[in-house]
Amino acid sequence: MTILVTGGAGYIGAHVVRLLLQRGDVVVVDDLSTGRADRVDHARMVRADLSLAAASYPLAELMREHGVTGVVHFAAKKDVGESVARPAWYYEQNVGGLLAVLRAMESADVSRLVFSSSAAVYGAAATDGRPVGEGATCAPMSPYGETKLVGEWMCRNAERAWGLSWAALRYFNVAGAGWSDLGDPTVQNLVSIAIDRVRRGEGVPVFGTDYATADGTCVRDYVHVADLADAHLAVLEHLAASAGDAAERTDPVFNVGTGAGSSVLEVLAAVGEASGADVVPLPVDRRPGDPASVVADVARIRDVVGWDAKRGLREIVGSAWEAAVAGSNHPPTGAP
Ligand code: UFG
């Protein structure tokens, strides 16, 4: 088994690469724009910009040369606000990158793909507080979410046209660290922001305290990056096991979350517990575009793939805290 991992030097990708290396060969393609080569020391690493790959980079040749049997495609831009400011660039990067991967896979006769999608595809469909299932009508609220939905459509079309065997994983709020050197100080999510503020002795902004939730703050489904990495391995195995079994396959789009929501204040309480510090919430205005509650219905991935999240909020925040402390003791070397 040789798996090509695009974006494998990134935060989530590097966790998956480390698990895959325990089972077989891995080739990483990453432009290192946000990823770090030192995260994937034991994998073969090729530096390339996928959105330019069709024109300038022989991705299909790379697949043939290494006997690649499957692809996990992470390489993409993921900042919602930036996607609103630079929509064309987001389409170029995210849709163009996947296009290059699909073309190369078809040409090199590689049929298995796991595609990183996002809960951002739901947009307005995920705002009423109930867990959202994959069957919901998607209404992305940003170009970022649109590019992920378009990506799923591209995969579905490639399945019909030439037999791509694929799955899209719709990630909910990913945080934590599976290994303390793989936490990501550059990821700006609530958990990393709160930890950073607490370490500086500052309060943490809470974007809105008047939502229709139990404590008035937004609720999200936080999933541990190590659980998410396990989900990729489980889905790759599922694709291998269901090869040639198209009639048996359900729609291969899966939510990856825990099925439980945590409020901003609950996250801050967990940071207080992990750090032993007093965490001071600083209520500020709502952030535009934030839905009150986004929680995954996780029945499909549990029933079809047999995967379930094993770690909760306490482990997510605890591991993120340890990674942050380890990171400042040992600053990364070899970063671009
Ligand atoms: N929040 C604060 N204070 C902060 C930062 C965040 O109160 O300093 C709140 C936000 O308002 C939100 C929650 O914490 O209610 C989580 O915010 P994040 O920015 O960590 O995550 P989002 O839910 O906004 O975004 C995540 C992913 C995106 C993805 C989106 C939709 O980071 O990539 O979910 O699925 F697109």
Considering only CA atoms, which residue is closest to atom 15 of ligand 1?
218
Q: Calculate Rg over the CA atoms of the chain.
A: 19
- Ligand 1, atom 10, lies closest to the CA of 207
CA of 222 to the centre of ligand 1 (A): 10
Atom from ligand 1 closest to the CA of residue 142:
36
ipTM of the complex: 0.96
User: Could you say which of 236, 256, 276 is where a domain stops?
Assistant: 256
Domain that holds residue 215: 190-220+258-329
Residues with a CB atom less than 6 Å from ligand 1: 78, 80, 118-120, 144, 173, 189-190, 193, 205-207, 218, 220, 264, 287, 290
Closest CA to ligand 1's atom 36:
120
* Mean pLDDT, rounded, for 224-252: 88
Q: What confidence category does residue 57 fall into, taking pLDDT thresholds of 50, 70 and 90?
A: low
User: Tokens 């825990």 identify what position?
Assistant: 258
Say yes or no: 168 and 104 in one domain.
Answer: yes
pLDDT of residue 44: 84
Dig out the tokens for 108 from the structure: 């090199």
Same domain, 95 and 208: no
Which numbered atom of ligand 1 lies nearest the CA of 119?
Answer: 35
Could you tell me if 282 and 164 lie in one domain? no
How far apart are the C-alpha atoms of 84 and 90, rounded to whole Å? 9
Q: Check whether residue 209 and residue 228 sit in a common domain.
A: no
Task: Say if residue 21's pLDDT is above 70.
Answer: yes
pLDDT confidence tier of residue 176, bands split at 50, 70 and 90: very high
- Separation between Cα atoms, residue 240 and residue 195, nearest integer Å: 39
Q: What angle do CA 109, 15, 1 make, to 5 degrees?
A: 30
Q: Is residue 182 part of a domain?
A: no
Examine residue 37 and state whether it is found in any structural domain, yes or no: yes
Nearest CA to ligand 1 atom 5: 190
**Residue 218 corresponds to which tokens in the numbers above?**
């937004």
Pocket test for ligand 1, best of 197, 207, 262, 293 (most atoms within 8 A of CB): 207
Residues 273 and 297 grouped into a single domain: yes
Q: Residue 323 domain-assigned?
A: yes
Distance CA 58, CA 79 (A): 28
Q: Which helix (H) or strand (E) holds 72?
A: strand 70-73
Mean pLDDT, range 42-55, rounded to an integer: 74
* Catalytically active residues, by annotation: 144
Same domain? 113 vs 215 = no
Do residues 250 and 270 share a domain?
Answer: no
What CA–CA distance (Å, rounded) separates 207 from 289? 11
Q: Looking at the structure, tell me whether residues 46 and 83 fall in a common domain.
A: yes
Identify the residue whose C-alpha is closest to ligand 1 atom 24: 290
> Counting atoms of ligand 1 from 1, which one is nearest the CA of 191?
20
CA 167 to ligand 1 centroid distance, Å: 25
CA 290 to chain centre: 19
236 contacts 3 by C-beta, under 8 angstroms: yes
| Atom 6 in ligand 1: residue holding the nearest Cα | 190
Answer yes or no: is 336 within a domain. Answer: no
Q: Which of 198, 233, 256 is the last residue of a domain?
A: 256
Secondary structure E strands in 75-164: 112-118
Same domain for 105 and 228, yes or no, is yes
Residue 124 vs residue 220, higher pLDDT: 220
Is residue 38 one of the residues assigned to a domain?
A: yes
Distance (Å, rounded) from C-alpha 13 to C-alpha 119? 18
pTM over 0.90: yes
* Same domain as 238, residue 117: yes
For the CA of 207, the nearest atom of ligand 1: 7
**b/e per residue, 272-301, with b = 16+ CB within 10 A?**
bebbeeebebeeeeeeeeebbbbbbbbebb
Considering the domain architecture, whether residues 282 and 296 belong to the same structural domain is answered as yes
Do 134 and 11 fall into the same domain?
yes
Q: Are strands 219-220 and 262-263 parallel, antiparallel or unpaired?
A: antiparallel
Residue 335 pLDDT grade (very low, low, confident, very high; cuts 50, 70, 90) = very low
Sort 205 into a burial class: Cβ within 10 Å, 0-12 / 13-18 / 19+: middle
pLDDT score, position 227: 98
Q: In this predicted model, what pLDDT tens digit does every residue of 301-332 receive, in sequence order?
A: 999 999 999 999 999 999 999 999 988 765 44
Q: How confident is the model at residue 46 (pLDDT cuts 50, 70, 90)?
A: confident
- Nearest residue to 36 via CA among 14, 52, 19, 16: 14
Which is the closest atom of ligand 1 to the Cα of 197? 8
> For the domain that residue 273 is a member of, what is the CATH number?
3.90.25.10
pLDDT at 188: 84
Looking at residue 22, its pLDDT comes to: 93
Q: pLDDT tens digit string along 135-158?
A: 999 999 999 999 999 999 999 999
Measured in angstroms, how far is the CA atom of residue 302 from the centroid of ligand 1? Answer: 25
CA of 189 to the centre of ligand 1 (A): 6
Average pLDDT, the chain: 91
Instruction: Please tell me the distance from the alpha carbon of residue 43 to that of residue 255, in angstroms, as a whole number.
Output: 28
CA of 323 to the centre of ligand 1 (A): 20
The answer as to whether 312 is a domain residue is yes
Residues 6+ apart with CB under 8 A from 165: 111, 112, 113, 159, 239, 242, 243
